Chain A
């Protein structure tokens, strides 16, 4: 079975440029999460979608960050304009998000996108 697919794996861009990260969740999963990982702050939840609807975006750093989930099989995380402090590994994860919030909703992660903003 295909896991969570993220693209690109690596992105190098210059400050001020727009960056778009892409994610295809596991088929049948209806919850999708975007995380950011840095040495200083560890793994941080940026935004959570359930059934394509953003439920919790309290972790989105600022207005330069936006995320969409137009359908059940695709999500994007956009940074515009990008800044050097956005350099990090960005992970997408998905889970079944069972109704009632079963504690066993295991999040399966993609391979991540390593973003470098110069």
Chain B
């Protein structure tokens, strides 16, 4: 089973509108972390936002917020007031598990390509 599922291969949004990128995850761990990364056409991977499984508040970072619904195992990224520079691939990722050495592997989803239309 996929640990991270991003069901939207591509999305369009009008400039200045809000957009939600979906992410569902699968884990039996109680302690885990969820991340979103942005990959623009230039190729670098940029960390956007983090949500811990025990965090009671939804994470926010500027125009980015994470809609965390633990019971549904979803961690959707909301981008408000979209800008042309938001056009990029967006990856959801999860860290779970813990080895004796404290190692926690991060698993990435397949990504959603967002295009912002002027």
List A residues at the B interface (Cβ < 8 Å): 42-43, 45, 48, 50, 55-56, 89, 91, 93, 97-101, 103-112, 114
Contacts and interface: CB of A to CB of B under 8 A. Distances in A.
Contacts of A104: 33, 50, 52
- What are the 6 tightest A-B residue pairs by CB atom distance, in nearest-first order? A101-B102, A103-B33, A109-B45, A43-B108, A101-B98, A111-B44
B43 A50 contact: no
Q: Report, as a range, how many residues of chain B touch the other chain.
A: 20 to 34
Nearest to B53: A103
A110 B45 CA distance: 7
A60 to B, nearest CB: 14
Contacts of B35: 106-107
Contacts, number: 61
* Residue among A93, A103, A105, A111 facing the most chain B CB atoms (10 A cut-off): A103
Contacts of B98: 101
Given A43-B91, A103-B53, A114-B43, A56 B105 contact: yes
